[in-house]
Amino acid sequence: MSTTIEATGYRFKWFVMAAVIIADVMDLLDATIATLAGPSIRADLGGSETTLQWVLAAYTLAFAVGLLTSARLGDIVGRRPMFIAGMAGFTIFSLLCGLAPSAGLLITFRVLQGLFGAVMIPQGLAMVKQNFPPEDLQKAFIPFGPIMGLSAVLGPIIAGFLIDADLFGTGWRMIFLINVPVGVLGTYIAWRYLPDVPKDPKARLDPLGSILVTVASAAIIYPLVQGRELDWPAWTFVMMAAGLLLFCVFVWNERRSESPVIEPSLFTHRGFVAGIVFLGTFFVAMVGTGLVMNLFLQLGLGFTPRHAGVVQTPYALGLAIGAALSGALLGPKLGRHVLHLGLGIAAVGMAYFAMVAGSGDVTGWDLTGPFLVTGFGSGLIFAPLFDIVLADLSDAEVGTGSGLLNAMQQFCGALGVAVLGTLFFHWLPDQGWYDATQAISWVAVGLYGVSFLAAFLLPLKAREEALH
């Protein structure tokens, strides 16, 4: 059903918000709970240790590179058809992930799921802004934070219970299959209630730039994940060098393009460049250690998926509390110093986890403190991070800058899985579960240190109306 903003846009604005929340919750859960399911997936479908890395990295890498072009395509094609196509495709490939007969096909479907997720997610904020009058916009986002926070807290628990319950003999497959009815509902709401909005006649796409950044990203991540298993043949190093070279060509192309994928002027802002470094090192550490923690709990300590999900609840709870406290109070009051505070607390929590993991005698209760502290510190960072990094940008630059930060967050998540996962599997045979997990924890603390230094170059105060 096609509608217009003038006729029905404000009338059905809460249906628009419902569709956007459904999309964001599905993306949040699929980007995280697959970590918990990794050992069960490998036990069922087989594959090597790198299979565990690819189940995560395939989704986040595809999502990251897709984000850079999909927002622009929304301006060209229209946000309504892009959102509907994204949600329908995400739902279809969730179903195919749940039915995948082999690890290779599962990874392929995860790539396509990530690409359709990237088509869907960037359209959401723009549609909300277009359908809510300015005086109602803040009210519109009131339920968004609690719902996303609750999803982060309950996601691992629900995933663990679903896997252990083995409903209809589905096991791990249910974490993907459960998306299907939710996605069908979201697709129907989007088709029925999203309004048509005018396209931007001036919007253009740079196909060469999009291809360059996609190939460059894959050329770096693929050998990082696959190289250890193949004993680092020469082509892996050649491929990574080629990826870096292609990134340089991409930058050169962006400077010449009339419709660049990334606005070159962004990199003239010192605070924004520092924000890229901050975000990159922080998410490499956070996502990479998330993989290692789940492997340690299930394969090292022998926890069931349900037990592992429950044990990680303090982390998710700390994350939600920290984000709420930072967004409502500490972020506006402390500015960039809240990032230093969050990193310091997260580093203490990770060091605490390293000492517990290296003790050789670990129970779920022993991990409650480290997980709660690390999650709380990380949560303090989440709420104000984008607002602070975007503070020095002009109004014309902030939309592109926000899109780039989102893409970098996903790309660095994939990079964290690739780098920290590879280091972990390299150390595991010689050091064992306890010492290898402890070593990765200290690597994460070191990465937090780099983020801590980069934060000194960020703007002092947040942008009041930055995009997320």
Give the CATH number, domain containing residue 119. 1.20.1250.20
Question: Do 296 and 402 lie in a common domain?
Answer: yes
For residues 150 and 94, state if they share a domain. Answer: yes
What pLDDT was estimated at residue 6?
43
User: Are residues 348 and 384 located together in one domain of the fold?
Assistant: yes
Per-residue pLDDT, 247: 92
For the chain, give the mean pLDDT. 87
Q: Which of 236, 258, 280 is the endpoint of a domain?
A: 258
Q: Which pLDDT band holds residue 137 (cuts at 50, 70, 90)?
A: low
CB 114 within 8 A of CB 58: yes
Domain identity same for 285 and 231: no
Same domain, 192 and 232: no
Select, from the ranges 16-30, 148-162, 171-185, 397-411, the one with the highest average predicted confidence (pLDDT). Answer: 171-185
> How many domains in the chain?
3
pLDDT of 8 above 50: no
- Asked if 367 and 342 sit in the same domain, the reply is yes
What is the rounded distance in angstroms from the CA atom of residue 2 to the CA atom of residue 358?
59
Answer whether residue 3 shows pLDDT above 60.
no
Pair 215, 353 in one domain: no
Mean pLDDT on 15-39? 85
- Residue 135's pLDDT band, with cuts at 50, 70 and 90, is low
Least confident among 69-73, 195-199, 410-414:
195-199
Of 445, 148, 153, 146, which is closest to residue 318 (Cα–Cα)?
Answer: 153
Residue indicated by tokens 């300015």: 134
Q: Do residues 167 and 297 share a domain?
A: no
Q: Largest Cα–Cα distance in the chain?
A: 67
Q: Which amino acid is at 190?
A: A
Question: Contact at 8 Å (CB) between 464 and 138?
Answer: no
Res 464: pLDDT? 57
The residue range of the domain holding 244 is 206-258
Q: How far apart are CA 374 and CA 382, in angstroms?
A: 13
**Crossing angle, helix 270-295 and helix 368-389, to 10 degrees?**
160
pLDDT at 406: 84
The residues with which 4 forms a beta bridge, in sequence order, are 196
Instruction: Tell me, yes or no, whether 223 and 274 share the same domain.
Output: no
Confidence class of residue 142 from pLDDT cuts 50, 70 and 90? Answer: low
Q: For residue 2, name the pLDDT band (cuts at 50, 70, 90).
A: very low
* Residue 92 Cα to chain centre, angstroms: 20
- Shared domain for 14 and 143, answered yes or no, is yes
Considering the domain architecture, whether residues 236 and 343 belong to the same structural domain is answered as no
Domain co-membership, 153 together with 279: no
Tens of pLDDT along 212-270?
989 999 999 999 999 988 889 999 999 999 999 999 999 898 888 888 888 888 888 99
State which amino acid sits at residue 267: F
